[in-house]
A and B are shown apart, each in its own frame.
Chain A
């Protein structure tokens, strides 16, 4: 009987942990969506796109905010506000992933991921003669 009790206990603990794991997974999963979808849901999401080079990004050192305009695959644009400075490699980035949510028509980002041709592989692929 003692052995059996031990198994019951172990099984219950395992199930409990799995439940905790699944709930943590669900709570911390952030979906990739389009800008239109991000505006619609207003929840924490991720948007992948490129930054619009016509609109010069600005950094406000008093407010510590970095602003730029993001354009997604569908061609929609949205202003992104990020608390922090311009991330390293921002200029080189071929695409940008922002994580956050839309508040009042602006995307408030907590994280910016710059996706470069590669951080290890370097910039332009043209040897100059």
Chain B
């Protein structure tokens, strides 16, 4: 009760604080209580988060959330992760980040002299998030959730339902928190932009937003990258990127953020593109809200591999309401200021860096729109009353070849050209080396086997970008370390694209059956399934087997360990499959498990009750199925048996009982019964007939005495060349963004200003622009 109430209280306080900050804009005496209010809200949200974390750690299963997402049989890191594995918990984690980052934003805005405006917007966003928590309270008790089932108040289930085995991966510790921190950071430039509009200071907000934009792009990018690593290491999620709606909805805010990160540089230099910057910043934030709506409202239910469950109408309406509110506030400020925003005429000379930045940002924005259209099209079509549709991945791939080439060319050119104008001779000289690199690089792509013309073209633009940025990185790093971030991020993008091109063209997959102990040759690789061992035996809720496969070529060898994971979570009906990966510099060896069978030398015979068949090995012997026998049950295993009658030409006949242990629905263990030193006979499995259980069929196996059966491990074995370029490129992008974000902090005053007092802008152009402000509206 206390915890539930706390959520309501903190939400109310956040609303009050936001309003207090709005009032503080006109009446200075409100700033102190508003500031205090934020401190209380920030601490309150942190306390709520801690309560959920501690409740999870202490297994407080009377909370529905804790019961639904964790159990006593989780290692510590997964137990912690379960506190944000569900809707409520992830919303809370996000709110916690917002609250925490809010302290930094408050200090920053105070120094900047915009505390009232920035914090009223920011706290408003936090209040919206908390409202979602009020609707989806993580501290609802089980007897409240399942009120109809007559559960006694105060009831504490002994154990929880556990965490979905698909999420049992160490990346769940990193990916969601980083992603939510990224979403949180996108809020800050938005708050600064709205504050700038509010105060009619259309130039200064840009300087303040730059470090936050860099930080948001870096952290959100890292979150996406970690998501890719997670998808790569867990099966069924389609490699590292599948254009899944959930993936897309974190990509769109990132693309908008990176786009505005570039156009903001133009404004800082020339004072132009004011409207573009405000609009893109707002779009980045709205994209976060939209993605929250898409992934949590259940609208994408049929098209996403990992969309959440339908949260109910109230939460749906709330999500929609928050999105509309965010868009409404932004639209209000944009429309009332639109004319003033367009005061500065934009000059973009053709051979200037500013034009290249604008065109590059255009490419990023187009990419964002394409992804947005692809993700939303099924919903829009449904809303328009057209037949329900889905979009295939090919849509994104086809369109991103020209978009990618466009972005990569400008990626290089924007750094090659100078601000304002670049002398033609200089341009030509600087372009010579990158063009050479591109020719050689593209040739080498051809040489290793890339034949698709579109991919070769895309690859050549990546080489141009890599040539330009690589040269800058090597030649100028000492002289101009501030630019290190841009060069590294730009080179990273090029490497990433080269990785994707290589992967798309050169990776291959084969389907192989591997009988235990018997080497199978696949191309230059010799695969041997050596055996399996059970791991994580300390947990009784699962049976996890690690399969060992040796991969050898003439000069190297590796061992791969795919995993089959039988869990109580799905009542051990089917195994969760995890790939085995050998990380190699040039190309990963990737093995996805598919199936495990026991292949005996046994011949099979299928019979119904009362039916007579002949032994497949000796047709003079008749087999008659007398009856089925159920039980006994020992622990988890059920023993089934059939009674059969064996008769040959001789008048004598034998009656045998063939027992079989059912380990679970799919795996059985027959007991082989020897018959007259000649052969062994056993019950392999039963094919049940649901309508009439008496008509079920028994599969009976016969094999020579002493024959050994062996396991056959079926896998999909693939080579993934270029995958490490993807990771390396991604990391360079993240590090570059972080670096350049940190460099932009230099423009920020270090000392506190008194509230309401603006510091004089440092850059000449900004001064000019701000003096041109008009009043009105």
Contacts and interface: CB of A to CB of B under 8 A. Distances in A.
Interface of A: 17, 20-21, 24-25, 27-33, 46, 48, 53-54, 56, 59, 61-62, 64, 84-92, 97, 99, 113, 115, 117-129
Given A61-B597, A120-B308, A92 B399 contact: no
B308 A118 contact: yes
A53 to B, nearest CB: 7
A46 B302 CA distance: 10
Contacts of A24: 394-395, 398-399
B391 A29 contact: yes
B125 to A, nearest CB: 24
A117 B86 CA distance: 13
A112 to B, nearest CB: 10
Given A25-B395, A121-B87, A91 B308 contact: no
A120 B594 CA distance: 23
A36 B146 CA distance: 40
B387 interface: yes
Interface string B160-179: 01101011000000000000
Interface stretch (B312-320, B333-341, B567-575, B606-614): B567-575
B395 to A, nearest CB: 4
A10 B648 CA distance: 89
Contact of B394 (A28, A56, A118, A123): A28
A87 B395 contact: no
Contacts of A29: 377, 389-392
B21 to A, nearest CB: 35
A47 to B, nearest CB: 11
B166 A25 contact: no
A86 B574 contact: yes
Contact of A17 (B366, B389, B571): B366
Contact of A92 (B570, B577, B691): B570
B69 interface: yes
A121 to B, nearest CB: 4
B166 A119 contact: yes
B650 to A, nearest CB: 38
B389 A30 contact: yes
Contacts of B164: 119-120, 122
B389 A31 contact: yes
Interface in B598-618: none
A64 B511 contact: yes
A92 to B, nearest CB: 5
A28 B303 CA distance: 14
Nearest to A63: B511
Contacts of B286: none
B302 A113 contact: yes
B427 interface: no
B714 interface: yes
Contacts of A20: 399, 402
A35 B563 CA distance: 36
A99 B309 CA distance: 22
A120 B146 contact: no
A55 to B, nearest CB: 9
B652 interface: no
Nearest to B157: A127
Contact of A87 (B155, B236, B389): B236
A3 B387 CA distance: 44
Interface in B39-56: none
Interface in B353-372: 366, 370
A53 B690 CA distance: 9
A20 B305 CA distance: 27
B388 A31 contact: yes
B303 to A, nearest CB: 8
B161 A129 contact: no
B752 interface: no
B67 interface: yes
A122 B569 contact: yes
Contacts of A56: 687-688
Nearest to B689: A54
A32 B390 contact: yes
A86 B388 CA distance: 26
Contacts of B392: 28-30, 99
Given A64-B714, A88-B576, A127-B151, A54 B690 contact: yes
Contacts of A21: 370, 373, 399
Nearest to B392: A28
Contact of A115 (B69, B142, B301, B597): B301
A9 to B, nearest CB: 11
29 contacts: A20-B402, A21-B370, A21-B373, A25-B377, A27-B394, A28-B391, A28-B393, A29-B390, A30-B392, A32-B302, A32-B388, A61-B594, A64-B714, A85-B577, A85-B594, A85-B595, A88-B236, A88-B577, A91-B570, A91-B573, A92-B570, A92-B573, A113-B303, A121-B68, A121-B87, A121-B308, A122-B161, A122-B569, A123-B570
A122 B155 contact: no
A85 B576 CA distance: 12
A90 B574 contact: yes
A102 B151 CA distance: 49
B59 to A, nearest CB: 14
Nearest to B68: A122
Contact of A25 (B373, B577, B712): B373
Contacts of A85: 577, 594-595, 714
Nearest to B398: A24
B309 A118 contact: yes
Nearest to B156: A127
B570 A46 contact: no
Contacts of B149: 126
A48 B29 CA distance: 61
Contacts of A113: 302-303, 305
A99 B236 contact: no
B513 interface: yes
Contacts of B301: 115
Contacts of B166: 88-89, 119
B306 interface: yes
B19 interface: no
B402 A123 contact: no
B390 A99 contact: yes
A74 B361 CA distance: 49
B100 interface: no
B483 interface: no
Given A27-B394, A122-B162, A125-B146, 10 more contacts: A28-B398, A31-B387, A61-B714, A85-B714, A88-B576, A91-B571, A91-B574, A113-B303, A120-B306, A122-B164
Nearest to B573: A91
Interface in B508-561: 511, 513
Nearest to A6: B350
A50 to B, nearest CB: 13
Interface in B139-159: 142, 146, 149, 151, 155, 157
Contacts of A128: 157
Contacts of B302: 32, 48, 97, 113, 115
Contacts of B570: 89, 91-92, 123
Contacts of A59: 594-595
Contacts of B416: none
Interface in B393-418: 393-395, 398-399, 402
B85 interface: yes
Interface string B121-150: 000000000000000000000100010010
Nearest to A2: B350
B101 interface: no
B582 interface: no
